[in-house]
Amino acid sequence: MNLPTKSIDPSLVPTLTIRSSGAQIPVIGFGSFGSDHVSASDMAEAVKMAVLTGYRHIDCAAVYGNEREIGRAIRELIDAGVVKREELWITSKIWNDHHGQGDVLLSCAQTLKDLQMDYLDLMLIHWPFPNYHPPQCSVDSRSPNAKPYIHNDFMKTYRQLEALEQMGLVRHIGVSNVTIPKLKLILQDCRIKPDVHELELHPNFQQTELRRFGEELGIVHIGYCPLGSPHRPERDREADDSVDMEDPVVQSIALAHGIHPSAVCLKWAVQNGCIPIPTSTNPSHILSNLEAVIQDPLSPQEIEQMSCVDKNCRLIKGHVFLWPSAHDWHDLWDERGVISC
């Protein structure tokens, strides 16, 4: 087993309280999406390194195609006495091709089998659309069967998620990639409120209105692409995308603290009450990302400065989920305050 050069006592990592249960969720998680450049086995090694370094929160998903390898890696750590299952916060997600009746239970069963666990701490519906697309397909391709958000259909999927919680297979449930209009409808019709919303969040894309809306309802926000996903595939890049870690304000704060801009992004997220889930296969990044959230907070003035770097720059636009009559990716995000159809 490769050991980290230094590890952090996990009890030093702050937690947030989940309102419905009082459960504690670590304020930083480890992302496990290898995209198309990190193999399943390399990501499993990175997860192992992360747990050995002191992370206790891992963000998984069926669609990442690596839950079996990650499950094996975590099992090895548990068997070696490095960590106990109950010390970990494990999230997974239902992919878009498993929204149908009975599919959510099947997806959860497969994830539990792959991860070698008998419960998950959190299960999310990955996207609010049941729209399948082949892995690594072109962003211009549109599935002829793709649909816009249909609330009654979504609630049929959500009801199955509620049943997973009632069966004790998952301890908490939540949503990902939803908007205020969609959340309002979900909250109106759910029996068990979503505890968590996982959404894209980084200094150049702060989603303040959406977060404030959720916070008032006691929803915890997990932020993905917290560093601006610098190695995302070419197909997910557009000419006017900004680069968070090159932002002059982020860089000047980093310089003042003698830290890397990545640490500024992570501190900013945590000090805004959110939970960043950075990914890395580099042991020194894995360590410095964890250290960032326990050392040397940004000052109130710096937090104020950071609020001015929002460029509303969404990186994961979601083109591949568009339905045939949709205009463009903006339709996925209900930007006019009503659900696009």
- What binding mask, one character per residue, do residues 190-209 give for ligand NAP by CB under 6 A, x or -? --------x-----------
The residue among 131 and 281 lying less far from ligand NAP, judged by its C-beta, is 281
- Cα(232)–Cα(313) distance, integer angstroms: 15
To ligand NAP, the closest distance from the beta carbon of 163 in angstroms equals 22
What is the total count of residues that contact ligand NAP (CB under 6 A)?
29
E strand residue ranges, the chain: 15-17, 24-26, 30-31, 57-59, 89-94, 122-125, 173-176, 196-200, 220-224, 274-276
- Helix, strand, or coil (residue 167): coil
The residue among 176 and 204 lying less far from ligand NAP, judged by its C-beta, is 176
* Share of the chain residues as helix, strand and coil, in percent rounded to the nearest 5: 40, 10, 45
Q: Which of 64, 149, 158, 224 is catalytic?
A: 64
- Cα(337)–Cα(29) distance, integer angstroms: 31
The residue among 80 and 161 lying less far from ligand NAP, judged by its C-beta, is 161
The residue among 188 and 200 lying less far from ligand NAP, judged by its C-beta, is 200
To ligand NAP, the closest distance from the beta carbon of 65 in angstroms equals 12
Strand 57-59 and strand 220-224: the pairing is: unpaired
Of the candidate residues 243, 249, 316, 339, the single one contacting ligand NAP (CB under 6 A): 316
Q: Report whether 71 contacts 48 (CB < 8 A).
A: no
As beta bridge partners, residue 123 has 92, 173
Q: Which residues contact 216 (CB under 8 A, 6 or more apart)?
A: none
Cα distances (angstroms) measured from residue 152 to each of 22, 99, 341: 30, 12, 14
Is residue 158 among the annotated active site residues? no
Which amino acid type is present at position 24?
Q
- The interface region with ligand NAP, picked from 47-55, 82-90, 184-192, 222-230 by CB under 6 A, is 222-230
Of the candidate residues 131, 160, 176, 204, the single one contacting ligand NAP (CB under 6 A): 176
Q: Which of residues 60-119 bind ligand NAP (CB under 6 A)?
A: none
- The interface region with ligand NAP, picked from 67-75, 94-102, 164-172, 229-237 by CB under 6 A, is 229-237
Of the candidate residues 59, 165, 247, 291, the single one contacting ligand NAP (CB under 6 A): 59
Q: Which of residues 241-300 bind ligand NAP (CB under 6 A)?
A: 260, 262, 277-282, 285, 288-289
The residue among 159 and 260 lying less far from ligand NAP, judged by its C-beta, is 260
- What binding mask, one character per residue, do residues 26-55 give for ligand NAP by CB under 6 A, x or -? -----xxx----------------------
As beta bridge partners, residue 120 has 170
To ligand NAP, the closest distance from the beta carbon of 95 in angstroms equals 10
Which of 219, 107, 221, 88 has its CA nearest to residue 169? 107
- Cα(325)–Cα(234) distance, integer angstroms: 25
The residue among 35 and 143 lying less far from ligand NAP, judged by its C-beta, is 35
The residue among 10 and 278 lying less far from ligand NAP, judged by its C-beta, is 278
To ligand NAP, the closest distance from the beta carbon of 60 in angstroms equals 7
Q: Which residues contact 167 (CB under 8 A, 6 or more apart)?
A: none
To ligand NAP, the closest distance from the beta carbon of 31 in angstroms equals 2
Cα dihedral 72, 48, 173, 146 sign: negative
- The interface region with ligand NAP, picked from 8-16, 19-27, 181-189, 230-238 by CB under 6 A, is 230-238
170 secondary structure, DSSP code? B
Residues annotated as catalytic (active site), given as ranges: 64
Residues within the interface to ligand NAP (CB under 6 A): 31-33, 59, 126, 176-177, 198, 224-232, 260, 262, 277-282, 285, 288-289, 316
